[in-house]
Amino acid sequence: MTKYISSTINHFILSIGLLIMVVPIWIIFASSTHSSLFINTNGLQFFLGDNFIDNYSRVLFKQSGFFNEITALKMFLNSFVMATGIATLSVITSLMAAYGLVYFKVKYATFIFWLIFITLLVPLELRIMPSYIVMSKLNLVNTFAGLILPISASAIATFFFRQFYKSIPDELLEAAKLDGTNSWSFFIDFLIPLSKTMIAAVFIFMFVFGYNQYLWPLIMTTSEQYWTVVMGLKTMYGSISDRFAFVIMSMIPPVIIIIFLQKLFIQGIFQNK
């Protein structure tokens, strides 16, 4: 009997949690399926309307923005290119750097270690203005390279890979050395296959991180051709139901990734513990 009561309480508390986390998104979604006129007179809606296809297709394909030069579809493409670029670049460079740090005798090892990890203290938000000046000196404003490179300049992924390598037993390298494996083939044939879960987790983390960037694209893109979804939200003009539809669409890619790959993601992050 007490077991029943306590399990009921568990479910009750969890349901309240669900309400808090899910209802706001549901209301915006339900409202996005009504016409703007209806929203303007009746406010936010709990129940679905019948303008779903109208609203969403209009938002996806209509030219919008201040100069009417971009569609939401193009913004999604831009966000995708930016997020993939950030994730790929930081996985590759961090995987290599962590390997260099853990598996080699390096001159000035402590210095290089600090050179890399002290950067964790300086997120992009702290160097936003000088970063913009550097990027304009390098002629990278309004390019994908400009959107990708400064965000990839992060040691978070290196930190994860370093922890992971350190947890791999020394015997692996000893055995490989006896077989005459050189450093390059040890990296390619042994470490990378072993790190698969970790690589996937870091890739997901960096992809979502990259896709969700707001401030940097806002500053780096004066041309509407390079607008991304998350920054486009604030600048997008349109009727109220168009904006609701765009908000809902903007969260779909990262949410799908997290929902379907949550196991991999959590496993990867907690592998080092």
Partner 1 sequence: MKKVQFKSNYSQYFFLAPQLLILLIFLYWPIIQTFKDAFTMQDAFGFGSQFAGFDNFLFIFSDPSYFTAFKFTIIYSFVITVITGSIGLLLAVQANKVMHGKSAYKTLLIWPYAIAPAVVGVMANYFFSERYGLLHHLFNNLWGFNWYENVFDAYIYVIIAGSWKQISANFIFFLAGLQAIQKTVIEASIIDCKSNIRRFWTITFPLLMPTTFFLIIINITYAFFDTFGIIDTTTIGAPGSETKTLVYKAYIDGFKGLDLGSAGAQSIMMMIIVLVITIFQFRYIEGKIHYN
> Of 54-83, which residues contact partner 1 (CB under 8 A)?
none
Give the range of 49-57, 63-71, 194-202, 252-260 binding partner 1 by CB under 8 A.
252-260
Packed helices 196-211 and 156-167: angle between N→C axes, nearest 10 degrees: 170
Binding mask 198-237 for partner 1 (x = CB under 8 A): ----------x--xxxxx---x----------xx-xx---
67-72 LR contacts (CB < 8 Å, sep 24+): 67/224, 69/224, 69/225, 70/224, 70/225, 70/227, 70/232, 72/229, 72/232, 72/236, 72/246, 72/249
Give the range of 57-65, 66-74, 80-88, 259-267 binding partner 1 by CB under 8 A.
259-267
Q: In terms of CB distance, is 70 or 231 closer to partner 1?
A: 231
The residue written with tokens 């390019």 in the block is: 143
Backbone angles phi, psi at 73, to 5 degrees: -60, -45
Residues in 8-27 that interact with partner 1 by CB under 8 A: 10-11, 13-14, 17-18, 20-22, 24-25, 27
**Cα gap 158→106, rounded to integer Å:** 16
- Kindly tell me which residue out of 94, 195, 221, 241 binds partner 1, with binding defined by CB under 8 A: 94
Cα-Cα-Cα-Cα dihedral sign, residues 229, 208, 46, 73: positive
Binding mask 169-188 for partner 1 (x = CB under 8 A): -x--xx--x-----xx-xx-
- Kindly tell me which residue out of 7, 57, 63, 223 binds partner 1, with binding defined by CB under 8 A: 7
**Cα gap 185→169, rounded to integer Å:** 18
Whole-Å CA distances, 162 to 11, 106, 168, 228: 40, 15, 10, 32
- Kindly tell me which residue out of 55, 64, 152, 221 binds partner 1, with binding defined by CB under 8 A: 152
Q: In terms of CB distance, is 71 or 93 closer to partner 1?
A: 93
- Kindly tell me which residue out of 56, 99, 160, 203 binds partner 1, with binding defined by CB under 8 A: 99
Name the minimum Å distance from CB 54 to partner 1: 20
Cβ contacts of 70 within 8 Å, gap of 6 or more: 63, 64, 224, 225, 227, 232
Give 52-85 as a DSSP string.
HHHHHHHHHHS-BTTTT-B-HHHHHHHHHHHHHH
- Kindly tell me which residue out of 37, 73, 77, 92 binds partner 1, with binding defined by CB under 8 A: 92
Give the range of 48-56, 67-75, 80-88, 167-175 binding partner 1 by CB under 8 A.
167-175
Q: What are 70's strand-pairing partners?
A: 64
Q: In terms of CB distance, is 68 or 235 closer to partner 1?
A: 235
Give the range of 60-68, 80-88, 194-202, 239-247 binding partner 1 by CB under 8 A.
239-247
Q: Does 4 bind partner 1 (CB under 8 A)?
A: no
Packed helices 196-211 and 240-270: angle between N→C axes, nearest 10 degrees: 150
Give the range of 54-62, 66-74, 192-200, 251-259 binding partner 1 by CB under 8 A.
251-259
Q: Does 158 bind partner 1 (CB under 8 A)?
A: yes
